């Protein structure tokens, strides 16, 4: 790979306001399922198009447009979307209609919009973009798979100047509550900021959309360099350190070069031990950060980690609310992101300052 990939624009919609970095304080929730904070979608999407869209589509289209505007890109060379569970709200509507109307007289809208690739399709329609458009559904490595494909697209197609890649997931009344039945969510409601102090099973969940404009060209407003992403569906806890050392070595780095690590800790005492070796050994003396106590855990929540890493690298500021330890770093150069869910679908991402 003889080129670098830069993050030139970011659109972030989550359960936290986008100005967390300047405000310093976080929005507090006392439920285990909480919604993303909606911007005024009418500023981004025409009312006649908006009326049919579920929240995932609204969040996806809006965050994509914010990212493109920031990067000053009108039509990207590719649109690559990751979504773990797709458009659940329309899926529920469609299935409820199917039951209520005894499998007859089904209305088309919710069916059409229930498919996972609706988000990428609606972004393309909105932009008039007829370029490469793919959606990946790979549980909690859906966003990472989209980013991996973006890297490959840059590699294989020298004509592509910029790619819009991101991840979207929404909550829905019924399907999200199945996670509770499955033991993926905490039994009793907790305060989100207490998540990482909890010693119980399950986590808290929410929704969000994060789109990134990746480009081979560094600009004035570039956030960071997107160095690499690695995905492994299964890793033994005792080999995590090895995996990370190998990943860093492939990027010509070692652990001493890492200035901060962002961990996908989600307060589930059955699986958070995957992060322990890393915290106690390899990156013991590095700033350790977490984010799921702010935005909940969902399949593409790691988009918030990429957003946070890019912001830290651009501003050299680490909000106290993200910190898991008291180690400080004045000017972070390399940030490692490690995430897993239910002990599966491990991902590593590396971002560097420009």
Partner 1 sequence: MTNLHTELKESIIEQLNLEDMEPADISNDEPLFGDGLGLDSIDALELIVLLEKDYGIKLTDPAQGKEIFVSINQMAQFIEENRTK
Distance CA 129, CA 285 (A): 46
3-state SS, 138-168, equals CHHHHHHHHHHHHHHHHHHCCCCCEEEEEEE
Least distance CB 105 / partner 1 (angstroms): 5
Least distance CB 128 / partner 1 (angstroms): 17
The one segment of 13-21, 105-113, 132-140, 187-195 that binds partner 1 by CB under 8 A:
105-113
Among 1, 99, 105, 234, binds partner 1 (CB under 8 A): 105
By rule CB under 8 A, what string of x and - marks binding of each residue 25-64 to partner 1? ----------------------xx-xxx------------
Among 95, 98, 112, 327, binds partner 1 (CB under 8 A): 112
Q: With CB under 8 A as the rule, give the number of residues binding partner 1.
A: 12
Least distance CB 52 / partner 1 (angstroms): 6
Least distance CB 90 / partner 1 (angstroms): 12
Among 109, 221, 315, 325, binds partner 1 (CB under 8 A): 109
Distance CA 15, CA 37 (A): 5
Instruction: Decide whether 47 or 158 has the Cβ nearer to partner 1.
Output: 47
Rounded to 5 degrees, φ, ψ at 157 are: -125, 95
Helix (H, G, I), strand (E, B) or coil at 256: helix
Closest CA to 13 of 33, 35, 32: 35
Q: Which helix (H) or strand (E) holds 263?
A: strand 260-263
By rule CB under 8 A, what string of x and - marks binding of each residue 59-98 to partner 1? ----------------------------------------
DSSP 317-350: ---GGGBSSS---SS--EEEEEEEETTEEEEEEE
The one segment of 61-69, 108-116, 170-178, 337-345 that binds partner 1 by CB under 8 A:
108-116
Least distance CB 107 / partner 1 (angstroms): 5
Contact call for residue 269 and partner 1 (CB under 8 A):
no
Contact call for residue 107 and partner 1 (CB under 8 A):
yes
Residues in the chain, how many? 354
Distance CA 35, CA 258 (A): 33
Two tokens at 137?
Answer: 């559904």
Do the Cβ atoms of 120 and 79 come closer than 8 Å? yes
Residues in touch with partner 1 (CB under 8 A):
47-48, 50-52, 101, 105-109, 112
């Amino acid at each position: 790979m003889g080129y670098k990939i830069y993050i030139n624009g970011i659109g972030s919609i989550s359960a936290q306001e986008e100005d967390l970095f300047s405000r310093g304080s976080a929005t507090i929730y006392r439920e285990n399922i909480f919604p993303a904070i909606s911007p005024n979608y009418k500023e981004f999407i025409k009312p006649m198009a908006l009326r049919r869209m579920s929240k995932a589509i609204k969040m996806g289209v809006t965050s994509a447009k914010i990212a493109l505007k920031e990067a000053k890109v009108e039509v990207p060379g590719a649109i690559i979307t990751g979504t773990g569970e797709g458009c659940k709200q329309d899926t529920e509507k469609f299935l409820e209609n199917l039951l209520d109307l005894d499998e007859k007289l089904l209305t088309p809208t919710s069916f059409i919009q229930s498919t996972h690739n609706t988000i990428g399709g609606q972004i393309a329609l909105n932009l008039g973009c007829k370029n490469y458009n793919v959606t990946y559904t790979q549980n909690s490595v859906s966003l990472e798979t989209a980013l991996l494909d973006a890297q490959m697209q840059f590699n294989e197609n020298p004509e592509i100047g910029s790619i819009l890649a991101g991840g979207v997931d929404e909550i829905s009344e019924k399907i999200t509550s199945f996670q509770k039945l499955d033991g993926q969510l905490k039994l009793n409601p907790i305060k989100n900021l207490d998540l990482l102090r909890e010693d119980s099973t399950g986590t808290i969940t929410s929704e969000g959309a994060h789109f990134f404009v990746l480009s081979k060209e560094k600009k004035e407003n570039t956030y960071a360099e997107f160095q690499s992403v690695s995905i492994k569906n299964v890793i033994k806890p005792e080999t995590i350190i090895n995996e990370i050392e190998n990943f860093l070595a492939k990027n010509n780095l070692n652990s001493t070069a890492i200035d901060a690590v962002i961990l996908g800790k989600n307060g589930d005492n059955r699986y958070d031990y995957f992060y322990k070796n890393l915290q106690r050994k390899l990156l013991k003396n590095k700033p350790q950060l977490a984010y799921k106590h702010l935005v909940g855990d969902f399949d593409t929540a790691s988009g918030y980690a990429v957003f946070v890493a890019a912001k830290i690298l651009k501003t050299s500021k680490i909000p106290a609310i993200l910190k898991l330890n008291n180690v400080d770093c004045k000017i972070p150069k390399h940030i490692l992101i490690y995430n897993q869910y239910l002990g599966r679908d491990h991902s590593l991402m590396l971002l560097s300052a420009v």
